[in-house]
Structure 1
């Protein structure tokens, strides 16, 4: 398979369902890193490492807190050449959404993983979807900017 290097006017995307298990969460992170490499953002770069950490946290949360028996979680990556950002979306089937999710990112007693997401992402949030919710984060890094120019 030939690498697809992003250009400034492109939007590339990757979408995959994974089993809502720890193994599925690890596979999501690994396949995402492979996809970034295919898009011209190599393993071990600042952007790749940041996205890996964000995916690890959001996928672990989907498996741990968003798991519904018999339902998978979805990972979506969007490389936006115009805005020079990588958007990570992890959707799970659990409809109930913690209204304090954003506040927990600042809570010393919980949400430490979300503190990491908050530190690595330009912005992040939660939105409802038809079934369940989507937690999203946008990462902008020099690697994305470099690859897109």
Structure 2
């Protein structure tokens, strides 16, 4: 089973979520993950993770790690805030991100990252053979 990993740093700011979607999708496609619906789910998840990091943690950049092993993919986003994400009731300002992540992933969890945190999301297993 081949294992692959890439680290991507996107500049924090308004374009961070779209840049993260692009970079993660390009990496996954290069590794043989090509099913459109599954890639869309991965893009939504990374967008939500990066949006939360930019909105709630600050910093100049958002470090992302993508790891793949067989049909399993782990997306990790680190930030400088030690405060763990929490669910809240959706309103006009947001509150839907963790609901989307719950719906589109196998599981997610938070790790301490030396004064900050790293939010890890295991995507649903890839629905086919990875080419």
TM normalised by structure 1 equals: 0.77
Q: Which runs of 5+ in 1 are unaligned?
A: 1-8
Q: Which residue of 2 aligns with 1:128?
A: 112
Of the two, which has the highest radius of gyration? 1
Tell me if structure 1 keeps the 8 A contact 2:48–2:101: yes
Shift of 1:147: 1.2
RMSD: 1.9
Q: Which structure 2 residues correspond to residues 1-149 of structure 1 after superposition, within 5 A?
A: 9-42=1-34, 45-68=36-59, 71-81=60-70, 84-94=71-81, 96-98=82-84, 101-102=85-86, 104=87, 107-108=89-90, 111-143=95-127, 145-147=128-130
Structure 1: 4+ residue segments shifted above 4 A:
none
Q: How many residues align?
A: 129
Structure with the higher strand share, 1 or 2: 2
Q: Which runs of 5+ in 2 are unaligned?
A: none
Tell me if structure 1 keeps the 8 A contact 2:17–2:48: no
Shift of 1:85: 1.1
Shift of 1:131: 4.0
CA distance in 2, matches of 1:131, 1:47: 33
